[in-house]
Homo-oligomer: A and B are copies of this chain.
Amino acid sequence: MESYGYLFDLALILIATKFFGVITRKFAMPQVVGALVAGLLLGPACLGLLHETDFMDRLSEIGVIVLMLTAGMETDIVELRHSGKSAMVIATCGVILPLFGGALVASLFNGNGGQAVLQNYFVGVLLTATSVSITVEALREMGKLSTKSGNAILGAALVDDVLGIVALTIITSASDSSVNMLLVMGKIIAFFVLSLVFGVFAHKLFERWMLFYKNEKRRFAIIAFAFCLIYSYLAEAWFGVADITGAFIAGLILSNTTRVTYLANRFEILSYMLLSPIFFANIGAKVVIPQMNGELVLFTVLLTLVAVVTKVIGCGFGAKLCKYSNQDALRIGVGMISRGEVALIVANKGISSGLMKEEFLAPLIIMVVLTTIITPVLLKFVYRQSEEEDLQYSPITDQYEEIKNMDLATQTIADINDHARKKNEEKLFRRKKKE
């Protein structure tokens, strides 16, 4: 009889993630934080209203794939080359330090024997990926997005994502101890090299195909989705590489095509209407609070501290290497602190592959929430001193505005349509009256 119970669960997830998302937004935090809180509340840790099911797991996996696809599409490869060396240096320093810092903290609580080493480095990987959206929002509000430091943050965050994916790929592939490490590395290299060769070709093919039509077509989004799913599948099936890596690369291939704004808009709708609420709720439903003892609290505190400090020092050091001023180096470091969905996505992957200890999930989520909360506060502080700014133009800045504009414009059109309809109805009504 209760075969339709999942309808109610789904409704609950949609309402709760939106409700808490709106609340966190009110406090100038990203909606992700609210969605996570909703998941925690609904999950077994608090109310116990949601239960992990195979259905939710699969749907949340598709959600993750769509999120990574979008992340890839928003990574402007051409811009990556433009912003070039300094972004690369800043990002690399800002990835290496958290990687080893995270592994060190984990080893204090997890030991160093056998599988533990991989588990510790996995915690390090979790600390690598910056989630730049909150920084972008904060800088935009302050009108500091188009500054020298703002551009450096955006560029470095792009490279950061790619480096994080590489680190994830290596560690997940290495986790299967039954296979030869040399073979694993060979497969990873083969995957990236083949992706590069095939990617250039596929990118051109997509561009030509999509330009063949004068207008945007549904088929663009549908075929792009299928392409991404196949890429994810083959990454796992042929190369032993995580499916989310495949999805990210598929996104990279689609980025910089003429229709990418249309595609991103479609996937965003698919994501917020169904998939990403399920993902966040599912993450929340995996957290088990009773395991939080004194040791884990200490771990949480240390993890958060290390996450903040290693990013600020790593990126700041990278910025100094690139001859940024002390002030800008600090700003860049602070701008890279916040972690977000990518850390959660990677953690989710780690749990299903056994690389992530389940009791590390709650500390990780707390770390994500805390870094997200403090980043805008610290940003306001480090940007306060400046009186005059060298405003810099960059196309990346634009791209973040576009999808927003598109949504807004769609709204306007809906308004116009509704207005026209109302007017027509009145016309008809008057005509009927006359008769």
Which of B58, B405, B428 sits near A394, CB closer than 8 Å? B428
Q: Interface readout for A399-435 with B: 1 if CB under 8 Å, 0 if not?
A: 1001001101111011101101100110110010000
Question: Which one, A6-14, A157-165, A182-190, is touching chain B?
Answer: A6-14
Which of B10, B259, B427 sits near A62, CB closer than 8 Å? B10
- How many residues of chain A get a CB closer than 8 Å to chain B's CBs? 76
Which of B7, B226, B227, B270 sits near A65, CB closer than 8 Å? B7
In the complex, what distance in Å separates the CA atom of A274 from the CA atom of B218? 12
A374-397 at interface with B (beta carbon < 8 Å) = 393-395
In the complex, what distance in Å separates the CA atom of A262 from the CA atom of B431? 28
Tell me whether A399 and B414 are in contact (CB under 8 A): no
In the complex, what distance in Å separates the CA atom of A28 from the CA atom of B394? 47
Closest to A58 in B: B55
Report chain B residues within 8 Å CB of A260: 418
Report chain B residues within 8 Å CB of A289: none
Q: Does any Cβ of B come within 8 Å of A193's Cβ?
A: no
Tell me whether B417 and A273 are in contact (CB under 8 A): no
Q: Interface readout for A41-65 with B: 1 if CB under 8 Å, 0 if not?
A: 0000000000000110011011001
Tell me whether B269 and A269 are in contact (CB under 8 A): yes
Nearest-neighbour CB distance to chain B for A279, whole angstroms, equals 14
Tell me whether A405 and B398 are in contact (CB under 8 A): no
Tell me whether A269 and B266 are in contact (CB under 8 A): yes
Closest to A217 in B: B411
Tell me whether A273 and B265 are in contact (CB under 8 A): no
In the complex, what distance in Å separates the CA atom of A244 from the CA atom of B265? 29
Which of B11, B18, B221, B398 sits near A420, CB closer than 8 Å? B398
Which of B215, B236, B421 sits near A399, CB closer than 8 Å? B421
Q: Does any Cβ of B come within 8 Å of A24's Cβ?
A: no
A201-242 at interface with B (beta carbon < 8 Å) = 215-216, 218-219, 221-223, 225-227, 229-230, 232-233, 236-237
Q: Does any Cβ of B come within 8 Å of A261's Cβ?
A: yes
In the complex, what distance in Å separates the CA atom of A96 from the CA atom of B258? 53
Nearest-neighbour CB distance to chain B for A435, whole angstroms, equals 12
Tell me whether A395 and B414 are in contact (CB under 8 A): no
Q: Does any Cβ of B come within 8 Å of A341's Cβ?
A: no
Nearest-neighbour CB distance to chain B for A62, whole angstroms, equals 7
Nearest-neighbour CB distance to chain B for A89, whole angstroms, equals 19
Report chain B residues within 8 Å CB of A269: 266, 269-270, 273
Which of B7, B22, B61, B413 sits near A410, CB closer than 8 Å? B413
Report chain B residues within 8 Å CB of A262: 410-411, 414
In the complex, what distance in Å separates the CA atom of A225 from the CA atom of B270? 13
Q: A219-B18, A273-B221, A421-B395 are in contact. Are A4 and B236 (CB under 8 A)?
A: yes
A255-287 at interface with B (beta carbon < 8 Å) = 258-262, 265-267, 269-270, 272-274, 277
Which of B12, B223, B414, B431 sits near A261, CB closer than 8 Å? B414
Q: Does any Cβ of B come within 8 Å of A74's Cβ?
A: no
Closest to A427 in B: B393
Q: Does any Cβ of B come within 8 Å of A196's Cβ?
A: no
Q: Does any Cβ of B come within 8 Å of A200's Cβ?
A: no
Report chain B residues within 8 Å CB of A322: none
In the complex, what distance in Å separates the CA atom of A65 from the CA atom of B8? 13
23 cross-chain CB contacts under 8 A:
A7-B61, A7-B62, A7-B233, A7-B243, A11-B229, A14-B222, A14-B223, A54-B54, A55-B58, A82-B428, A225-B274, A261-B418, A262-B410, A267-B273, A269-B273, A393-B428, A395-B428, A398-B420, A398-B421, A406-B410, A406-B413, A409-B409, A409-B410
Pick the 6 closest A-B CB pairs, nearest first. A216-B411, A11-B229, A14-B226, A11-B226, A262-B414, A409-B413
Other contacts beyond A7-B233, A8-B229: 14, CB < 8 A: A4-B237, A8-B230, A15-B222, A18-B219, A59-B59, A62-B274, A78-B425, A261-B414, A261-B418, A261-B421, A262-B411, A393-B424, A406-B413, A409-B409
